[in-house]
Amino acid sequence: MKLLLVEDDLRVSELLKRGLEEQGFLVTLAYDGLMGKKLMTSNSYDLIITDIVLPQMNGIELCKEIRMIWPEIPILMLTALGTTDDKIEGFDAGADDYLVKPFDFRELHARIKALLNRSAGTLQSPLMNVLKYADLEMNLQTKVVSRMGAEISLTPKEFKLLEYMLRNKERMLTRTEIAEKVWDTHFDTGTNFIDVYMNYLRKKIDKNFENKLIHTKTGMGFIFKEN
C-alpha cells in the first residue's frame, strides 16, 4: 500500500515514515501543502495522511484539492488541533478520519487499516446508485440529495452521515455506532461533534418540511424514520 504523508516537522515525519515502513507501507513524504498537492496529482496513492498547519497550503485546503481530483481516496488528518470546531472543519473539507497529536502509533496503524479496509470494501461492493425514503432521494453517483424535488446542499461528511442513516433507516443508531461506521473512530464522550453534525443535517433535511425524518431518542441515539 502506498501512502502520502504531508508533515512539515522533519523529526515527526521521519519517525512516522520509519514506523509505517516497518508495517509494510510504502511512504512518500511531503513537507508542505503545495508539495503534497503536486505529488498527489502526479502519483497514485492508497491513502493520504496530512497535518493541518502546513507551509504554502494548509491541510484544509489540501484536503479540498484532493477531494476534487480523487473523491474516494481515504484521508486521515493528523494534527495538534483537537477542538470540536477543528474536527468539524476537517471533516467538512473531506477528511475521513481525524487523529489528534500526541497519539499512540498503534492507534494510527489501526485507523489506517480501518480506512483501507473500508475503501477496499467500497470498491469491491457494487452499490445502488439511488437511495430513496419517503420524499427524500440521494444519488450516490452524482452526490445530489433532494426532498420533494428540491436539491439540498450537503458537505462531504453530512452526505456520508445521511447515507449511513438511509442504509439503516427505521433502526436506532447509537453515537458509538455512528462514530465507528461514519467516522471510523471510537466515540469520545468528551466531544459533541456527532450531535453538532446531526443538528446541521436536521436543519437541511427537516427544517423546511412538515414530515420530519431525523429523530433523537434521549439517552439512546438517533433514528431515521417518518413521523
| pLDDT exceeds 50 at position 125 | no
d(CA 189, CA 163): 23
Look up residue 190 and give its amino acid.
G
| pLDDT exceeds 70 at position 191 | no
Q: Are strands 144-147 and 150-152 parallel, antiparallel or unpaired?
A: antiparallel
Task: Give the pLDDT of residue 130.
Answer: 83
Span(s) in the chain for CATH 3.40.50.2300: 2-124
Q: What is the mean pLDDT of residues 128-134?
A: 81
Q: Which of 89, 60, 99 is nearest to 197 (CA)?
A: 89
Cell numbers for 144: 445530489
Span(s) in the chain for CATH 1.10.10.10: 130-224
The phi and psi torsions of 4 (rounded to 5 degrees) equal -110, 125
- The model's pLDDT over 55-92, given as tens digits with 9 standing for 90+, comes to 999 999 999 988 887 878 899 998 888 788 888 888 88
Task: Give the pLDDT of residue 104.
Answer: 87
Higher pLDDT among residues 101 and 201, named by residue:
201
> CA 125 → CA 105, 138, 174, distances in Å?
30, 18, 25
Asked if 140 and 129 count as a contact pair (C-beta separation under 8 A), the reply is yes
The structural architecture, per CATH, of the domain 2-124 is 3-Layer(aba) Sandwich (3.40)
Looking at the DSSP assignment, which residues form a beta bridge with residue 26?
A: 2
- The model's pLDDT over 36-45, given as tens digits with 9 standing for 90+, comes to 998 888 788 8
Instruction: Say yes or no: domain 130-224 is CATH 3.40.470.10.
Output: no
